[in-house]
Structure 1
Amino acid sequence: MSVPDTMRVSVLRGIRDVAVEERPTPQPGPGEVLVRVGSVGVCGSDVHYYEHGRIGDHVVRGPLVLGHEAGGRIAGVGEGVDVSRVGQRVSLEPGVPCRHCVQCRAGRYNLCPDVVFFATPPVDGAFAEYVTIAEDFAYAVPDQLSDDAAGLIEPLSVGVWANRKARVGAGSRVLISGAGPVGLVVAQVARARGASEIVVSDVDSRRLEAATRFGATRVLDARDGIPAGLVVDAFVDCSGAPSAVA
């Protein structure tokens, strides 16, 4: 597979200042693969960095490539990686841990304090034609899955984890606050896991309408408060709003 020497990247240069630049195509190191990016989702974190230049303690202090919900095709491999992976379509897990700390050794690599996460300052993300990543964090996907769907596996994993954590299963009654993309994913996973009641709350009528098309059995306008008699087995907050949790 032919790989050009340079590639286009979308660079956040400052608040609300994004430009397309030409950069050298990265080279995969030992144990890494080079991925030609096929599709990248826009996460709420990308929007925060674009609009505010920060998320809490994570501050954009220099040019940054956003995007971490990515899928694509392996275009090259580094030392120690099976060359037969070239051409393989993949979905990327964008946070690579150190593998050596206490959390990693305990099997909780998602809590690694030294994780290298795409599009988290100062680590560049996937709004580029090519990216490199540890080979075991590039997961093969079937050809019948589109590039867009491959990119959505990362946010889908959030919905899967949330439902597992909340122990949602057959017959469960679950309340989800927030009918944004992640809230809708959580609702769809709950439905796939056999939940009998999936109640979704929000303050946006358009989002609530979308929730009825993507798994919700009932929707609530959060401004009206919790209706009397509502009983659920699990609550999942996908809004980030303190008032929603309250």
Structure 2
Amino acid sequence: MRGMIFKGQCEVQVKDFPDPTPGPGEAIIEMKASGMCGTDLHYYRHGMHEALGMLGLKERMRGDDIIGGHEPCGVIAAVGAGVDARAFKPGDRVIVFHYKGCSHCEHCRSGWTQLCDHGADIYGVLNHGGHATYMKVPVSSLIHLPQDISFKGGAAIACGTGTAYGALLRLGVTARDTLAIYGLGPVGLSAAQLAAAMGVEVIGVDINAERVQNAKAFGVAHAIDASRVDPVEQIHRLTAGKGASCAMECAGGEIPRSQAVRSTSIWGRIALVSVGGNLSLDVMKDLIGKQRTLVGSFTVSEVGMSDCARFIAAHGVEVDKLFSSEWSLEQAGEAYADFNQQAGGKGVIVF
């Protein structure tokens, strides 16, 4: 089979790998779509060793030739011994939950595999991922893909859109809320689509004029260009001086994080989603004195991802709109060079 590895210094390589065979409890997935996530740019720019060092995972790296891609979606081609056909069988359309844990600790048993007490493996980072013809995973990492959702849509749910859904769950949003979303990239736009489908009034904030202009097509009621106006002032103006009831930070950077906090009302709830960086606040003025709740939201549980897929299918959320470009596996070098510009939407490798 063919698979793509990140070499660092903004280079990738597509090369031959042995075809995988399933062991007990495992499945081989014939890939149909493998999404490109912003997190991949760490590996693309810096290489696996350096990027994993930044994440504190360098000592767990098994080698240089790890196939990238942690948003996999496809069809089961084969299963190993002990797999109950009532659960998964060849021909099933599936999303791969991109973590593998011990399966026994309380976090794994509740679907929060990424928090495994013994350290979770991450597909596309520590184990072979979805930028390949085939992928081998335990069936415990599989989620059924509803027929109403495309393979591309399933790839989005596998990380970016699932992450947005997970943050909405952490915030406990309802149709009574006003949600300010900072960062209108794929995760932020996914949050806007999902929140709008829940009946939430969405305010979108970004410093990219094109993203601001396009945001209303994704359910954003009020779009703010933070390069031209103070978004905190604008949000308070839109909410009769109260502020949004909740906010989600998907932009990265200290400034949008602090703005997300200060955009909310008394009793406001804020979810931090983007990876890396810091946040400086006046604890009394910005948190305690306003009774605000600040949470970190790390992707989504396996149960939450399955719920996300069902919600999207039931409400007709057009998740495919997130994708601005499609590529073949052999075009991976061109695909990541384009994605590295971060000027468009989401990219996907299709098979």
- TM (norm. structure 1) is 0.89
Matches within 5 A, 1:1-246: 7-53=1-47, 54=51, 56=54, 57-58=56-57, 62-83=64-85, 85-101=89-105, 103-104=107-108, 108-113=112-117, 114-120=119-125, 122-154=126-158, 155-195=160-200, 197-223=201-227, 224-225=229-230, 226-227=232-233, 228-229=236-237, 230=239, 231-246=243-258
Q: Which has more helix, going by share of residues?
A: 2
Partner of 1:4: none
CA contact (8 A) 1:95 1:117 kept: yes
**1:155-182 deviation line (CA, Å, top 9, x unaligned):** 2221211111111111210111000000
Give the CA deviation at 1:92: 1.0
Deviation at 1:15, TM superposition (A): 2.5
* 2:128/2:135 contact within 8 Å kept: no
Q: CA RMSD in A?
A: 1.9
Local SS of the residue matching 2:28: strand
Aligned equivalents of 1:34, 1:102: Cα separation in 2: 27
Q: Secondary structure at the match of 2:184?
A: coil
Give the aligned residue type for 1:213. Answer: A
1:119 and 1:10 map into 2 onto residues whose CA distance is 10
**C-alpha distance in structure 2 between counterparts of 1:93 and 1:65, whole Å:** 16
Structure richer in strand, relative to its length: 1
SS in structure 2 of the partner of residue 24 of structure 1? coil
| Unpaired runs of at least 5, structure 1 | 1-6
Answer yes or no: is the 8 Å Cα contact 1:10–1:20 preserved in 2: yes
2:319 maps to none
Shift of 1:78: 0.8
Q: Against the structure 1 CA distance between its residues 150 and 103, is the aligned structure 2 distance closer, same or farther, given a 3 Å change threshold?
A: closer
